[in-house]
Structure 1
Amino acid sequence: MAIIRDLSQLDALYGRADELSEAATVKVATRITPLYRKYLERAPFLALATVGPEGLDCSPRGDVPGFVRVAAPDTLLLPDRHGNNRVDSLRNIVRDPRVSLMFLIPGIGNAIRVNGRAQLDTDPALLASFAVDGRAPRSVMVIRVDQVYFQCARAIVRSGLWDPERRVDPASLPTPGEILAELSRGRVGGEDYDRTWPERAQQTLW
């Protein structure tokens, strides 16, 4: 193995940070610009990365486009919708506010990345403003933006992420029920879990 162990080795392989093209650096903004805002308001999905004493967490978040609200050029609001109640991301944020978000828009090659610091707000009026079908989130992440920039489309192009011809047949992969049953030695999961999940999910989307 030829492991890179210091930055000088990395710089020798990829070049120094100060040698980046202007396009690679000028795209980084310290606020939500009007053009970046257009992307964020059309995104129905993001991945949220956090860090805490137990380690790292990366959590998918999704809703109707615009579910992340641009409250100000330096502030995003992200409601915490119903999930499995592990709250790994929230536990991390309470102890370490650093967050990173990657927004994806179906059919669009560029991803939008946001780095910042978050805190959890439970103000009743704020929660009510995010209610869907009368159901409000239990908390809202208030994210102070440090950086926002687009990630070039190469990874999405290479992966064929939005190409219908490259969709995977779900039947070719294990189901969540099968995974749970294997890991729990049959205590949870199985066919009943998979069969009832769509109805459970529909009742608890928000």
Structure 2
Amino acid sequence: MSDHRIASLDDLAHAYPNPMAPASLFKEIDHVDANYAALIAASPFFVLATVGPEGLDCSPRGDLPGFVTVRDAKTLLIPDRKGNNRLDSLKNILFDDRIGMLFLIPGCGETLRVNGRAEISCDPELLSQFEMAGKLPASVMVVHVEAVYFQCSRAVVRAELWNPERQVDRRNLPSPGTILRDITARNVAVETFDGRAYDEALPGRVKATLY
């Protein structure tokens, strides 16, 4: 195994000998233009990557399309809605403000990548811009854009991500309650977890705490 490990840039070049297509470079810009703004406005979901003292984090973010606001060509505004309050991403940003974002658009093969630096704001005026269902976000992430580019559709096409016939029946997978029950069962310091009750209450809890 070790004899075939890629351990240098030369090894990498040998494994990937084909030159990069010019479009792969042309598509990257340092700001959000009108075309990239349109993709962001259409997206209801992105994945946020951060890094901090305790390691890496990759976190889902979702809301109605357009929930990420393009304030200007170099700035994005993102409301932070209710979650599990682990705050992994936000804690990472306090130590290292570099972030990566991957936007998905249902039905679209291309994804959009944004790299930049982020800060967290609780400015009342800023929070008020993102009121939803009578509730304000806990904070707003202000992203200072450094690079934007679209990713070609190969990964989404191979995955058949938007093919309704490929959707998995949720009942064929372990439920959240089952996962928590089995994990806590291995910890003698934790009392017995009622996974069934957790699953029964989960849909109502999610609906009641969306905002």
TM exceeding 0.5 = yes
Alignment of 1:11 with 2:16, yes or no, is no
Distance in 2 (alpha carbons) for counterparts of 1:53 and 1:12: 34
- Residues of 2 paired with 1:113 and 1:61: CA distance? 14
Aligned to 1:107: 107
TM-score, reference length from structure 2: 0.94
Evaluate the alpha carbon distance shift between residue 154 and residue 189 of structure 1 in structure 2; reply closer, same or farther with a 3 A threshold. farther
User: Any stretches of 5+ residues in structure 1 without a counterpart?
Assistant: none
Correspondence for 1:39: 39
TM superposition shift of 1:187: 3.1
1:60-89 CA-partner distances (Å, limit 9, x unpaired): 000000000000100001111000000000
Instruction: Name the CA distance, whole Å, in 1 between partners of 2:113 and 2:198.
Output: 35
* Pairing 1:191–2:193 present: no
Q: Deviations over 1:170-197 (max 9, x none)?
A: 1111000000000011633501111111
Separation of aligned partners in 1, 2:17 and 2:115? 24
Shift of 1:15: 3.5
CA distance in 2, matches of 1:190, 1:58: 26
Contact 1:179 1:189 in 2 (8 A): no
Instruction: Give the letter aligned to residue 202 of structure 1.
Output: K
Identity among equivalent pairs (%): 50
- Give the deviation of 1:12 after TM superposition: 1.4
One-letter code aligned to 2:89: S
Residue 48 (structure 1) aligns with: 48
Q: In structure 1, what residue type is equivalent to 2:199?
A: D
Taking the aligned partners of 2:109 and 2:38, their CA distance within structure 1 comes to: 15
Amino acid at match of 2:94: V
Report the CA distance between 1:13 and its aligned residue: 1.4
| Other-structure match for 1:62 | 62
Q: How far does residue 134 in structure 1 lie from its aligned partner after superposition?
A: 1.4
Write out per-residue CA displacement over residues 100-154 of structure 1, whole angstroms, 9 at most, x where no aligned residue.
Answer: 0000000000000000000001101101111101110111110000100000000
**For the aligned residues, what is the CA RMSD?**
1.1
Aligned residue pair count:
204
Q: Which runs of 5+ in 2 are unaligned?
A: 186-190
* Number of the residue aligned with 1:88: 88
Aligned to 1:200: 205
